[in-house]
Amino acid sequence: MSFCRISVWCLFVVSASVGIFVQTPSSSSSSSSTSKHPSSTHVRKTPARADSGLDAGIVGNGMYRNVGLGFSCKIPAGWVLRTEEMNAPEKSLPQGGTGEGKSAASGRVLLAAFSRPPEVRGEDVNASIVIAAESVAAYPGLKVAAQYFDPVTEVAKAQGFTMTEEPYDFPVGAKTLVRADFQKDRSSRVMRQATLVMLTKEWAVSFTFIGGTEDELEELVEGLGFGGK
């Protein structure tokens, strides 16, 4: 079974966002997604492929909402969005990735949010949220969410992460996802990552949260909700 396409790249390009995520000059000046997330009076719908059948979701009131997939996710105040850049057609997998032959129609990044612009270096960990969805049809043999962590773990190790918690069932309200936790030591800093995965009939959806402390990480995870939240 060979998995590892758009979601795996997104999970770990954000994990190593200090120095790996490269924003083109044109995107910094022309894309509305590079600004801070909308105020409570503004709602932005992320562009989506008309033929994908995937709800791209809406950002507004400090929240990302996806009615089609049935979830919402809180975006902390002052964070910047890079969703459109992460979906740029010229974006490629990092060296060592196994996403050769990946079709743009197979999935997309639904949300990419950072506590500061990824191209800006800082002393602290750049907390972040990345949500991505891929077509289940792109992965023959994918039956349960735990299988999706096989390539995720390989890429994590290649980026210097270690798995601190193997995949386990993780309830979010009435919904049960599969979660795995990773950690990366960067001199005096520790980068903590939680990745949650769910499968629908058509989509494999991954939710990746990164923080500098356990409390920060869990606060980000708690911003994810299903149903009426």
Domain region containing 176: 6-34+77-218
| pLDDT (0 to 100) of residue 123 | 76
Residue 55 in any domain: the answer is no
- Any domain includes 194: yes
Residue 188 lies in a domain: yes
Angle at 89 between CA 194 and CA 152, to 5 degrees: 25
Task: Summarize pLDDT for 49-93 with one digit per residue, the tens.
Answer: 434 689 999 999 999 999 999 999 999 999 999 999 888 765 544
- Domain presence at residue 172: yes
* Least confident among 8-12, 77-81, 198-202, 213-217: 8-12
Mean pLDDT value across the chain: 77
Is there a domain that residue 62 lies in? no
Q: State residue 165's pLDDT score.
A: 93
**For residue 144, what is the DSSP state?**
S
Structure tokens at 172: 């979010």
Query: What does the pLDDT read at residue 8?
Result: 57
CATH number at 171 reads 3.40.1000
Phi and psi at 146, nearest 5°, equal -60, -30
Domain assignment of residue 227, yes or no: no
Better pLDDT: 94 or 126: 126
Q: Is 52 part of any domain?
A: no
> CA–CA separation, 110 vs 59, rounded Å?
10
In a domain, 229, yes or no: no
Residue with tokens 């964070």: 79
Count up the domains in the chain and report the number.
1
